Amino acid sequence: MTAIFEKPTDNERQHLKALFVKGRLDGQPMTKILVDGWAAINIMPYAVYRKLGRGDQDLTKTDMMLKDFEGNVSPVKGAIFAELTIGSKTLPTTFFVISGKGAYNLLFWRDWIHANCCIPSTMHQCLDQWVGDKIEIVQGDSSYVVASAEADTYERTRCISGEIWEKDFLKVADYEILPIQAVCSDEEF
């Protein structure tokens, strides 16, 4: 079976949104599910785990250690097995519970994407998945948008990949890219 994506218009592709979807975890509604093909494991923050009504006694112990974005290593609190439903498809899924917080309730990795036979598209803001011999398109969760200092900045940021510049200096202001600034700092990266 063949799946075909339509070519998006310039306005539809000029965004840098991550792909979030909605689903159900063990029958309970779940929002802010981040589909990330680069993640190493399926992750669930501990705060979400507790909201599901589970305690430490429900965790399967593990010796896994994770490195965060700053390079700090910390142990995983444990692992849980749950029935995850995205669209009309339910798949048994293992999540590693972490102490940290994220801009997501659940994070999927490559293994889930491949096991689920799906194709995530951040550009199209959807997840195409095979259900038997049919393709189901799960639309991205547009109700969740990552906040920025200026509310409209995220929507009007231009993609710089695919652009050609002949200058020997890339000026981020030309592309409406805001410099990154550490929290509680006056220094820009």
Domain extent listing, the chain: 10-139
**pLDDT of amino acid 170:** 52
> β-strand 43-45 against 28-35: which pairing, if any?
unpaired
Q: What average pLDDT does the segment 148-163 reach?
A: 48
CB 127 within 8 A of CB 85: no
Residue 15 has pLDDT above 90, yes or no: no
Structure-block tokens of residue 141:
């969760």
Structure-block tokens of residue 109:
């990795």
List, for residues 65-120, the tens digit of each pLDDT value.
Answer: 887 767 788 888 999 889 999 999 998 999 999 987 778 999 988 888 888 888 89
**188 vs 73, residue with greater confidence:** 73
Instruction: Assess if CATH 2.40.70.10 describes domain 10-139.
Output: yes
> β-strand 73-75 against 65-67: which pairing, if any?
antiparallel
Mean per-residue pLDDT of the chain:
77
Residue 162 has pLDDT above 70, yes or no: no
Instruction: Report which residue type is found at 78.
Output: G
Entry pTM:
0.72
Q: What average pLDDT does the segment 7-27 reach?
A: 81
Least reliable range by pLDDT among 1-5, 31-35, 134-138: 1-5
